[in-house]
Amino acid sequence: MVSTQLIVESGLRYLPESGAAKENRSPNQQLLPLTANVNSRDRLEIGGCEVTALVEQFGSPLYILDEETLRTACSQYRDAFKRYYRGESQVLYASKAWSCLAVCAIVADEGLGIDVVSAGELHTALQAGVSPGKIYFHGNNKSREELQLAVESGCITVADNWHDLETLSELGKLGVSSKIGGPTRIMVRFTPGIECHTHDYIKTGQIDSKFGFDPNSLNDVFKFISEQPSLYCVGVHAHIGSQIFELQPHDDLADVIVDALTKAISYGLPATEINIGGGLGIRYTEADDPPSIEAWASTVCTAVVAACKRQDLPLPKLLCEPGRSLVGTACVTAYTVGSQKVIPGVRTYLAVDGGMSDNPRPITYQSLYRVLAAGKMSVPLTETVTIAGKHCESGDILIKDAKLPECGTGDILAVPATGAYNYSMASNYNRVPRPAAVLVRDGKVDTIIERETYQDLLRFDRLPEKLKTQK
């Protein structure tokens, strides 16, 4: 038996909480995927696959996505809404967190819809087999081409501003219609005026936001829509932000959004849906203490039911759109240690073969992560080091003052909670190819994203004839 002291002072402390069945643990409250385990060789396993062996096979950096954790999060959201809400409900995956064919196909297989914010994300969802009727198209500056694609595909377009409404109305007058027939289905997004404690860049609910109609303009908005025979308003949408640990703001949102729905109905619109957004946070470090998926869903559903009762309104279809809390904890990123720099009395740097190109969140949001030595899980954490990326930027630091066992060139490090906004925000900065991603379950592994090659970096480069050297 491993001693309690050893767990505290080693990478074992990162393992999922024990004492409950995996399906009853809320993934967003864990530091590692639900299947994380340490094998007899003291090596980290995810989905029954040894992390160090995966790096040997697929190289690094490597995104390792645990299918069981992703599916568990999907089912917890889906089942909690059915449990706490007597009306119809639909969970949507906010695919901006990680849009790729495999992730979209998995969440769709679990009965979820998809929230997309660009033509590229819409195309990905459709190619993954998601029903257009379960796709909601967001965005504060959709192009005419994107709006036409949304209309023709048959998805629901979330009107964010007058540009959206006027363009959609014009497309309708020009005869652009859905392949499934009928008028263009839309939802109206507005800013609810509710602030929450999170990073300024990911707040969206306050009045001073680039997203959504000003709530004071809703009368004009609903009047305009009521006069457009080509537009069919299914409901209203509001979102207050991301990586939120508070429940009260979601409670407050219920009255605001039900009021907006009531106003839409007063203009004769067939509005029967409300979308309360997402925003539930996840655990990146031991200090993070987010509510469970169950607690979040219970709060939202109870608040909406109460708000509808106060308005004497039949329960609308209730939608939510989590992203980070579905996929964030399901992935770890594996790196290989390269160079080391010791500055006596100041700092020790361990450089890895990735950094800001595969995880831009630390340099962008000052986000905090934890790290562990995937091949030395029970070895005491005796070293304090800074994990540096390989890019030509002094700010390319993944983790400052990380606690690790003694590590050196060739050791494999694993950074948890990298499923959200890592691959989706990855870049080719310094002409570094983006990493591969694999899906693991029950000891089996599938490649879901191929590692880019140097030739891939040149695919869209064009060299003018006058600059070509003669052979």
Strand partners, 274: 236, 318
Domain around 319: 68-327
What CATH number does the domain containing 23 carry? Answer: 2.40.37.10
CB 69, CB 33: distance < 8 Å: yes
- Domain assignment present for 462: no
* Same-domain pairing of 398 and 370: yes
Enumerate the active-site residues. 392
Residue 200 confidence class, pLDDT cut points 50, 70, 90: very low
Query: What percent of the chain has pLDDT above 90?
Result: 84
Residue 163 confidence class, pLDDT cut points 50, 70, 90: very high
What CATH number does the domain containing 149 carry? Answer: 3.20.20.10
Question: Which range is least confidently modeled, 44-53, 122-131, 210-219, 429-438?
Answer: 210-219
What number is the average pLDDT over the span 309-336?
97
The pLDDT of residue 195 is: 65
What number is the average pLDDT over the span 52-65?
98
Query: What percent of the chain has pLDDT above 70?
Result: 94
* Same-domain pairing of 397 and 283: no
Residue 251 confidence class, pLDDT cut points 50, 70, 90: confident
* Same-domain pairing of 128 and 195: yes
- Each residue of 66-106: pLDDT tens digit? 999 999 999 999 999 999 999 999 999 999 999 999 999 99
* Same-domain pairing of 51 and 93: no
- Domain assignment present for 471: no
What number is the average pLDDT over the span 311-318?
96
Nearest to 440 by CA among 37, 27, 108, 48: 48
CB 122, CB 153: distance < 8 Å: yes
* Same-domain pairing of 140 and 258: yes
Question: Is it the case that residue 194 has pLDDT exceeding 80?
Answer: no
- Each residue of 361-391: pLDDT tens digit? 999 999 999 999 999 999 999 999 999 999 9
Residue 471 CB neighbour total at 10 angstroms: 3
* Same-domain pairing of 87 and 167: yes
- Domain assignment present for 160: yes
* Same-domain pairing of 160 and 73: yes
* Same-domain pairing of 322 and 332: no
- Each residue of 231-246: pLDDT tens digit? 999 999 998 888 998 8
Residues 6+ apart with CB under 8 A from 8: none
Strands 317-320 and 383-388, by their bridges, are unpaired
323 φ/ψ angles, rounded to the nearest 5 degrees: -130, -70
Q: What is the mean pLDDT of the chain?
A: 93
Residues 6+ apart with CB under 8 A from 67: 47, 106, 330, 439, 440, 441
- Domain assignment present for 450: yes
- Domain assignment present for 469: no
Residue 120 confidence class, pLDDT cut points 50, 70, 90: very high
Number of domain units in the chain? 2
Q: pTM of whole model > 0.85?
A: yes
* Token output for 210: 């680039």
CB 403, CB 380: distance < 8 Å: no
Nearest to 416 by CA among 230, 256, 286, 258: 286
Mark which of 281, 296, 327 sits at the end of a domain: 327
Nearest to 63 by CA among 441, 431, 363, 416: 416
- Domain assignment present for 147: yes
* Same-domain pairing of 178 and 259: yes
CA triple 410-412-417, angle to 5 deg: 155
